[in-house]
Amino acid sequence: MDPTNNRDTDTAPSDNEYLLDPSEAAEIVPDDPDHPMDSDGEDVQADGEAHEEIQLQNDSIAYFDLHTDSIFCIANHPLTPTTIATGGGDDTTYIFSADVSLPVLPSSYESSPSTSRSSLQPMAKLSGHTDSVNTLTYTLPSGEYLITGGLDGQIRVHSTTITSPTPYPLLASAQEVPEVNFLIPCPHPSHPDTFALGASDGSVWVYTLDASDTSSPLQVLQAYYLHTGSCTAGAWTPDGKFLATVSEDGSLYVWDPFGEAAAAGVTDSSSSSSSGQAAIVGLTTADQRFAVEDGLFSVAIAPSGAFAAVGGAHGIIRIVGLPRLSPISTSASAAASKSLKASSGGGGIAKKTPGGGKKASGLIETTPGGSSSSGQAGAILASLQVQSESIETLAFSPHHSLLAAGSVDGSICLFDTAHRFTVRRHIKEAHEDGFAVVQVAFGASSAEEAWLLTSCGMDGAELRASISGAWQKSGEGIGAKGKAVGSWDL
């Protein structure tokens, strides 16, 4: 073998042998840091697809953006709905007015639309909380007070009628619990300016306000300690006589804060508070018919006051009878009678009904009769399971026999309470990509508006749809989606 062909003996060429002498270059291309040579003039993502440019236009009539952290709660004044209070993660509450003049057309239709708009200015800025303000409410019936609750365990009461020298002055405060989960105003006509509080330690408090008592304007009416887990939600009956609360421990209690049920002899001897006062309804996981593993997170009470719906983990909803201390109207009684008729029950698969809808999966044990009497208080009237994950929000239509349920699985389910809780519509992925539904609500001002269902989701969107349409056509199923009348990405 020729030793000159031995690769092991070859020496590597020097780097200089591969360099091009500048004098030999035909053209020198200048460096352009803003336009790489391999981009071909397009803005390309890592996956090779070109970026899509989206033009955003704010067509809202007004906006408010002074919070410096997430907004966790919002409330409208009961007499002046355009007066809005908001609380957020910046430990601050703002009050502002949305009473602005409406343009004929949105700004995007203007020949020279403004590129910037100013935020609404606050009527008042309230501080004093040392952690996030996660709940607030105006008192009923006239909104004389604004109560704020926070993760610091404080409740702070501000007067809405005093505007000088400073608006919304602090009237009273209290700190009895680790964290405040919710505040709800009581609609009882004989107990104005009363509200309920649910706390992270499971306790439930009922307060009343009396500004004329300068030494103690904030007074505790009742305190209950039967929940062993965080109290997650609460609701007053429409007449304000009873308060229903649910907990992460899977329990439901219905309280009698003003003693009206006790005076009528309606109590549940198996459930008594530490103060000795009995709850009129008490259901826990010890009752296997009621048990919802992993807790309850929502509660709503029918407009008739005849029954409550509680929602929990795994998409489970229980319908529970409530006592009635006074007669209800003929129409309400008839609707309640229809909704509580006996069902053949059972069945793990939804079945067609003559009305064209579907019977709820797992529907069990409905009780015959008209409005719930004291004998039906605490009876499990129905069990529903259509959605797959936790029921975060429930709402009854004030004018129609509808119950809406919003779930963490991103769906909204509509039940017909006058026909054995038939599933009238199951809207899957009501919010894009299956984001959790955290709030549903029906319009309340009129029967026509009650066909409008509004939902809010973790996708940052507020959606509103009319659900009348095919609903009113007997013998036909309901479409997968309602007729959208508007949606807003927040």
Q: What is the three-state SS of 260-322?
A: HHHHCCCCCCCCECCCCCECCEEECCCCCCCCCCCCEEEEEECCCCCEEEEEEHHHEEEEEEC
Cα(116)–Cα(139) distance, rounded to whole angstroms? 37
Q: Write out the E strands in 35-179.
A: 71-76, 83-88, 93-97, 124-126, 133-138, 145-150, 154-159, 170-175
Residue-level pLDDT at 298:
98
> For position 367, what pLDDT does the model report?
36
What pLDDT, on the 0 to 100 scale, is given for residue 62? Answer: 83
> What are the Cα distances from residue 81, in Å, to 39, 98, 120, 137, 478?
54, 9, 16, 13, 33
DSSP 45: -
Below-50 pLDDT ranges, the chain: 1, 3-5, 7-9, 273-276, 328-373, 470-484, 487-490
Cis peptide upstream of residue 165 (ω within 30 degrees of 0): yes
Q: What is the DSSP letter of 191?
A: S
* Measured CA angle at 81 (ends 175, 460), to 5 deg: 75
Q: Dump strand ranges (E) for 176-283.
A: 180-185, 194-199, 204-209, 218-224, 231-236, 243-247, 252-255, 281-283
Residue 326 has φ and ψ, to the nearest 5°, of -145, 155
Cα angle at 299 between 297 and 300, to 5 degrees?
155
pLDDT at residue 223, as a whole number: 96
pLDDT at 34: 57
What is the per-residue pLDDT across 240-271, written as a single tens digit (0 to 9) for each? 999 999 999 999 999 999 999 888 877 665 55
What pLDDT is recorded for position 359? 38
- Model confidence, pTM: 0.76
Helix (H) or strand (E) holding 454: strand 452-457
- d(Cα 217, Cα 136) in Å, to the nearest integer? 18
Rounded alpha-carbon distances, angstroms, from residue 297 to 220, 250, 309: 25, 9, 11
Residue 209 pairs in a beta bridge with 218
Distance CA 361, CA 344 (A): 12
Residue 354, token pair as written in the block: 């003559």
